[in-house]
Amino acid sequence: MTGPDSHPIGGWLKLCEEVDGFVAEDDVLADARARAAAVGCRPVAPGVGTALRFLASAISARAVVEIGTGTGVSGLWLLRGMSADGTLTSIDVDPENQRAARAVFTAAGNGPSRLRLINGMGLDVLPRLTDGGYDLVFVDAAPLDHPRYLDESVRLLRAGGIVALNGTLDGMAADDHTGLALREVAKQAREDERLAPVLLPLGDGLLAAVKRAR
């Protein structure tokens, strides 16, 4: 066979298309993506979105923290997997992005009890959140901070809770600060005995880990 599918990269791209198209996104998510493009923010890939909904559903997540609200693509997927009475606490340093996300969440029928949007730097806000008080933490801000976000997430999660960090394969091999941070967080997740990690080749890479019961 010749053509793009016979080439290893062509085959891989085809696989990514299949994964991202596995569950179709609706008009609300399309609106969130259009808003992201307008403000220059990069939302999670559809395959990552479906994984977030899957993870939140699997553990009937009620209390979820997100760092990097953006315009609400990942938040919508999370809300769709969480229990109906659950609350998404989402942190972003950019108020314009968060305003867009709030409009998207509201248009999707999420009332104020489902949302706690906090404007601020993730590493300033997380220390104010309760130890062991959360079922799931999703990190999608600056990859340089991933190692510190993983530390904070382990503190925030209940036993059986899940942390997921986005973009963990994008530049992992690079000889720069981001590459160093991504290799460090992968090692940290592998070596922390409190965690059962998995590295999923979705989007730019999704590193997820369950916090084990002691």
Contact footprint for ligand SAM (CB under 6 A)? 36, 41-44, 67-68, 70-74, 91-94, 97, 121-122, 140-142
Rounded-to-integer distance, Cα 35 and Cα 128, Å: 30
Q: Least CB distance from residue 162 to ligand SAM, whole Å?
A: 16
Distance (Å, rounded) from C-alpha 28 to C-alpha 76?
9
Nearer residue to ligand SAM within complex by CB, 142 or 199: 142
Q: Residue 36 Cβ, how far from ligand SAM at the closest point, in Å?
A: 6
Q: Is 70 helix (H, G, I), strand (E, B) or coil?
A: coil
Nearest-approach distance from CB 72 to ligand SAM, in angstroms: 6
In angstroms, the CA 84 to CA 97 distance is 24
CB of 144 to ligand SAM, least distance (A): 9
Choice between 70 and 161, CB closer to ligand SAM = 70
Residue 35 C-beta: closest distance to ligand SAM, Å: 9
Q: What is the DSSP string of 20-38?
A: HHSS---HHHHHHHHHHHH
Q: Which residue's CB is nearer to ligand SAM, number 42 or number 183?
A: 42
Q: What is the three-class DSSP state of 204?
A: coil
Residue 3 or 127: which CB sits closer to ligand SAM?
Answer: 127
Q: Which residue is nearest to ligand SAM (CB)?
A: 70
Q: Residues 134, 104: contact at Cβ < 8 Å?
A: no
Nearer to ligand SAM, 95 or 201 (CB): 95
In sign, the C-alpha dihedral spanning 27, 33, 38, 39 is positive
- Is 162 in contact with 196 (CB distance < 8 Å)? no
User: To which residue do tokens 């990190």 refer?
Assistant: 139
> Rounded to whole angstroms, how far apart are CA atoms 197 and 162?
9
Q: How far is the CB of 104 from ligand SAM (least distance, A)?
A: 9
Q: Closer to ligand SAM at the Cβ: 134 or 190? A: 134
